[in-house]
Amino acid sequence: MSVTPIRQPAVDAGALDVERIRADFPILRNVHPHGKTLAFLDNAASSQMPQQVIDRLVRYQTHEHANIHRGVHTLSAIATDAYEGARRSVQRFLNAKEEREIIFTTGCTEGVNLVMHGYGRKFIGAGDEIIITHLEHHSNIVPWQMLCEEKGAKLKVVPIDDRGELLVDDYEKLFTERTKFAALTHVSNALGTVTPIRRLIDIAHSHGVPVLVDGAQAVPHIAVDVQALDCDFYAFSGHKICGPTGSGALYGKAALLEKMQPFKGGGDMILSVTFEKTTYNTIPHKFEAGTPPIAAMIGLGAALDYVSAIGLERIAAHEHALLEYATEQVTALGGVRIIGTAREKAAVLSFYVGDVHPHDVGTLLDEEGVAVRTGHHCAQPVMQRFGVPATARASFAFYNTFAEVDALVAAIRKVQKLFA
């Protein structure tokens, strides 16, 4: 089969050439909300897709599509190669030891649910305890609550301080001999807090407790090495890292994945089926029942390759500079409360303008072309901790510019004037 090489992103040594990178993202120049220049600062909700990934999707649909792992015909083999190639891209991206430790999911939420059903329902019982943190997104709370309700297990929550940092000493004290699992976020979506995940994993392991890391907000900003972290599971979504919606992956240590029960039953996850007995397929296929969103996963592979070519260290450095500038400029306005001031933060700025409700802020910022998320960010416990119903949240990606931060600050100033 012939392979058309994917155009590489514009990368030089040293700092990011943001203007050249922006040229890869057609949506950034195609959309003008209310006639204004778009400042897309809602990347923690979903990021934009570069032309390279769009082209990869088009090439798949125009030259490579058939169902995978089935037919002996040429197209099926091409599609299977492309799909399994994407799995290797994820493996490289997370530095997983083995390809079979990567399970494709429709996103981080499905990854967490897979572990809850596959591991939790098999190995966690009445009176057992599961540890989560106060920073979790609902998707890393609700599945564990469902499990606790079903099994009579108990959920324990690691508290946070006023900066939005985890209280690690309190975390350590939560462990008892009944603790069977820990599900911990790597980066808070609402506040941007980066948790000391390596240390948290070490502490859990010292009590013999396996750890699932919710990496949805971490992978776009931090180079993740699952072997160095020694996490047992790591889940993330493709659409937050320039890939398609409906794509994602779960890393799991092979030994654990093999012990687990399947999450969904159906085609592709079996070796043989009779009405008396079904023999499940080997990992990762045991967890991939039915025809997956093949194109989405191939797009995910292309997105990870794109981001890797730019380099997460350089991405992190640029985003950090943006966050620092934004924090300084927003603080200088006066009257804006920044929610989440952890010492180590990803590029997330959650804020409250005077006593103006975030939904009013969001509508008025949109009027200026500035797209931010407003609401509880699917993290209501975090909102309750800080005594606010919601916040406005600007979240930055590597293609954002200092001029876009200026647009944000100018728009907030307009809100302040209107509500003065």
Partner 1 sequence: MDSKQLYQEVILDHNRKPRNYGRLEHPTQSSEGLNPLCGDHIWLHVHLDGDRIDGIAFEGQSCAICKASASMMTAAVKGKSVAEAEALVDAFRGMVTGTVDPATPGNPIGRLAVFAGVKDLPSRVKCAVLPWHTLHAALDAQAVASTEGDQDPMGTAG
Site for partner 1 in 29-58 (CB under 8 A): 34
Query: Where do the H-state alpha helices sit in 98-138?
Result: 108-115, 121-123
Distance separating alpha carbons of residues 264 and 261, to the nearest angstrom: 9
> Which listed residue (331, 359, 403, 413) binds partner 1 by CB under 8 A?
359
Near partner 1 by CB under 8 A, which window of 42-50, 150-158, 234-242, 369-377?
A: 369-377
Q: Is 378 a catalytic residue?
A: yes
Q: How many C-beta atoms surround the C-beta of residue 266 within 10 A? A: 11
Contact 212, 231 (CB under 8 A): yes
Nearer to partner 1, 59 or 376 (CB): 376
Contact between 319 and 347 (Cβ < 8 Å): yes
Q: What minimum distance in Å lies between the beta carbon of 369 and partner 1?
A: 12
Q: Which stretch binds partner 1 (CB under 8 A): 85-93, 141-149, 292-300, 366-374?
A: 366-374
- Asked whether position 360 contacts partner 1 by CB under 8 A, the answer is yes
Decide if residue 264 touches partner 1 (CB under 8 A): no
Site string for partner 1, 54-93 (x = CB under 8 A): ----------------------------------------
Using the contact rule CB under 8 A, the part of the chain among 226-234, 275-283, 291-299, 353-361 near partner 1 is 353-361
Please list the residues that pair with 193 across neighbouring strands: 345
CB 340 within 8 A of CB 42: no
SS3 of 5-67: CCCCCCCCCCCCCHHHHHCCCHHHHHCCHHHCCCEECECCCCCCCCHHHHHHHHHHHHHHCCC
Tell me which of 131, 364, 394, 411 binds partner 1, using CB under 8 A.
Answer: 364
C-alpha 406/C-alpha 400 separation (Å) is 11
At residue 257's C-alpha, the angle toward residues 196 and 261, to 5°, is: 125
Binders of partner 1 among 377-416, rule CB under 8 A?
A: 383, 389-390
Query: Which residues carry out catalysis?
Result: 378
Q: Which residues in this chain contact partner 1 in the complex, by CB under 8 A?
A: 34, 356-360, 362-364, 366-367, 374-376, 383, 389-390, 418-419
